[in-house]
Structure 1
Amino acid sequence: MPRRYDGPWLDDAAGRLVRPYTVSGGRTRPTAALDLLSLVRATGTVPRAHLGPEHTLALGLCDGPTSVAEVAAHMRLPAVVTKVLLSDLLDCGALTARAPRSYDTPTDRSLLEAVLDGLRRRL
């Protein structure tokens, strides 16, 4: 009896059996502007339109604030495909997105102090 997978179809020798192009419905551009560090979160709204299993998996990963990069890593999909899936969920109201916090300069003193404080707590 063949093994049943909860996630995307995988074959130990061949890898992913469903190509990323198929997962995104052939689309290569998301409708929403998402950065890899954008935080997405489920709203609790159930999408009215039928979405694919990848959409359901992505939505399940977004119970709390989760970065686009993290969702892509968990789903083992290219970032652009993940952005397309997440933008579909944004369009139907199932997700909200927040842009990453921007700093005026990459060497902002408050940012560096926050990183240093975090490192001290971990050590």
Structure 2
Amino acid sequence: MPADFSRPSHDWLDADAGPVVRPYAVTQGRVAPAGGDFDLVAFVVATIADVPALPNLLPEHRGIVTAAWEPISIVELASMLDLSVGVVRVLLGDLRSAGLISLYEPPAASQPHDVDVLKAVVNGLRAL
């Protein structure tokens, strides 16, 4: 493929991958979601049909609300949007604070694990 000298060369542009933006730039350096942590298998549901034109919403925020019109787990959402799970969690914290999404955690995630069941699983694995 011959080089295209008419287009300027940029350090932030990868010909194969497209524009490259670091995850910390998307989350503005934040690594934890606002309002506390949540389980990765929790379901996300948008609370409104159309994303309002708020100036502080990133394109990634809009993509999350659009994709979450039907219930979707956080890990599926990250895969669908091709974003890391950490970035999606931070963005979901923003959207939850703004009231644009609701999160529904499975009941098993909020209850402690039964120690007897865990011991039985370990014993079963050792028996293999």
User: How high is the TM-score relative to the length of structure 1?
Assistant: 0.68
Partner letter of residue 71 of structure 1? L
Q: What does 1:1-123 correspond to in 2, within 5 Å?
A: 11-14=14-17, 17-32=20-35, 33-44=37-48, 46=51, 49-50=54-55, 51-102=57-108
Q: Give per-residue Cα distances to partners, 1:76-105, cap 9 Å, x unaligned.
A: 111111000111110000000011231765
Find the residue that maps to 1:64 and give its secondary structure.
coil
Higher radius of gyration, 1 or 2: 2
Q: How many positions carry a matched residue from both structures? A: 101
**Cα-Cα RMSD:** 2.9
Partner letter of residue 84 of structure 2? P
Question: What stretches of structure 1 of length at least 5 have no aligned partner?
Answer: 3-8, 108-123
Identity of aligned residues (%): 37
Shift of the 47–100 alpha-carbon distance from structure 1 to 2, 3 Å rule, reads farther
Find the residue that maps to 1:69 and give its secondary structure.
helix
Find runs of 4+ consecutive structure 1 residues off by over 3 angstroms: 9-12, 45-49, 103-107
Question: What stretches of structure 2 of length at least 5 have no aligned partner?
Answer: 1-6, 118-128
